[in-house]
Structure 1
Amino acid sequence: MTDAACTTALGDSRQSTWDGLINNRSAIRPVNGFSAPFSGKLRVAARIDDLTSSRRHSRVFSLIDRVLAPFSAVPPASRLITATTKAGIDFFERRRLGETIDSEDLLLASIAHHVSRRLDISGPMLNISAACASGTLAVGKAAALIATGLADSVVVICADLVTDFVLSGFSALKALSPGPCRPFDRHRQGLSLGEGAAAVTLMSGECARRHGRPLLGRILGWGASNDATHMTAPDRNGKGLIQAIHQALGVAGLSPDDIHAVNAHGTGTIYNDQMEMIAFDAVFGQRPLNVFSIKGAIGHTLGAAGGIETVIGLESLRRKMIPPTTGFQVAAQGVGDRVSMSAKPSESRYMLSTNSGFGGVNGALVIGAAA
């Protein structure tokens, strides 16, 4: 990886998001202007309030332009992979209210076309829409294209919004926490949604040297699987996630003993957090392991989650620090001392990042430090 940026409700940059995480701040707060029938008294989400929209463009393009603001130029022939679950879903809502809007913004491909114009790249484009594992699978796909010699440079852009439609859907599933989510906590009650975006450039070593790009870190391994169990609930025994983790470790040429830090999906729902810990036990046994989730700070950013977590994983390895899990207080059954409400120093050279989503999809990445 030669470039990495993220925009979240904690801040517009990788630095500001990291500062918020390490200081245990949460951007999840009461929101107004939504009609979704929330469960509980509080209406909370991690929104980026100053994103703009117009008759021609969705708020998602304001979000993408913001994450790309510090981004370096990329080779014109770079491939582009985007990850989103709903793209310009806010335009769908406005159209339903009778507004005249640009229907192109409703298409998932609209993000890819916007980014290709913004970065002036002409390579092949692909969008991955695989629920909450979209970002992780996009980064893994980019790494695989480079590893197999099918590409020298791949740009990955991940983005999703919080809207009435999205909130209503999760509310109907009774998946929303009445207050800010509490990943891996005994008293967790559900997830909190968030807005965010990530941008990552991956290059082959030769391409990076040719263009004088710095090495930020490496995607060493990737894996994907499907539980084939339920439309919205994960397999209770974590079999699909276990398979994805073993795939990623196999591609990386590492053993479970090489992993000491995990950037988990950690949504704060009863079944996801429970399933992840069962999977981690199956892969890593009962040995010490630093597990953290950033969703208590920035909310669940859906298709952008895996991309943002890749960027934060890089930052964690670079700074040799494990951020706290915001919202965590009392360990749930099976969590033990793996999750902490405080930041911890770490000498780990590798980090596992996992995501799971509706339809039973699972994704796993092994991220390696730059040096």
Structure 2
Amino acid sequence: MIDIKYRDPSCRGRGGILHLPHGDVEIPAFMPVGTNGTVKAVKHDSVADMGYTLILGNTYHLYLRPGMEVIKAAGGLHEFSGWKHNILTDSGGFQVFSLAPFRKIREEGVRFRSHIDGAYHEFTPEKVVEIQETLGSDIQMALDICTEPGISHKDALKALEITTRWASRAKKRWENCRDDYEGKLFGIIQGNFYEDLRKRSAEEILELDTPGIAIGGLSVGESPQMFRDYLHYTSQFLPEDKPRYVMGIGTPDYMLEAVEAGIDMFDCVYPTRIARNGTCFTLDGNLALKNEQFRLDQQPIEPSCTCPVCQQYSRSYLRHLFKAKEILGPMLVTEHNLHFLYQFMAEVRLSLKEGRFLQYKKSFLDRFSKRTF
């Protein structure tokens, strides 16, 4: 499933190719999030033209709307949405985690209320595999329990134990998928912010020998230092011969930290979400287009950027679109942000190949900041 082509000798960073049913993916790779079968505010063709060949779909949201009957009738999510490349779908575990007042976790699975109409539904590990098989996911995630920072060791251990048992059940069901389904199952490491539990979860999930491994339960509200500490601590247990995925990170600083730790894949709604509010990535940090200082600014968003948006439109014009509430504004900034991240990851891969990743990381972060101006 994975070919590692090069490694940076100064860290755990690595690069290569991920082989998936709908084509190869260069890694390390950022994956745009397409919650409802679409990356918000941008056409599939535009996403593919940037170079992306792997995006995310959301099992929880697609299950509720339009529902499995609709997607099955179309022949799967690829056919339904018109996306010709790879799709990773999450298990719905994070969405259930975020709906804490409306769900009940049991050994069998999790019962939850729909955020759409309040109706009750149940996800079991087996059902989640079946949903993702129907979707035709190229990568599917096992159902897990994501926990928030600050819970007790006892509660974190209980969640870990259920996650392991659910992963085992998911693996058994995945092994009995229909013959023409080629999607790969990833197990998810949990353990909250306890080193002994992280180590135990890693050992138990790796014992199941799923095709890929994800680190879950990070970027869920903890401090940046805690994120870094537990990312590097957990990643040391990951095998060399499997794809490694950290869920839910999408800022350049966190992505660079993940690459240094040897992570191959990551995703987040952050780049497209901030775009819809008029915030753009630049090499000098995030730029908030709605600010008055850009009213007469005839520069592109990022002068060195080669994306179609920066080649054609000024900050002044884009600011006007947002102030006038024109839908074109979010569309254009979304395209820029995704293009920026794709080029960023291409530079990351080149720095790994040339054995200078740590220098690249330092020089990039010395210029880039998460402060908005």
Decide which structure has greater helix share.
Answer: 2
Both proteins in one fold, TM over 0.5: no
TM-score for both structures, normalised by structure 1: 0.29
Q: Provide the TM-score with structure 2 as the length reference.
A: 0.29
Q: Which has the higher contact order (CA 8 A, sep 6+)?
A: 1
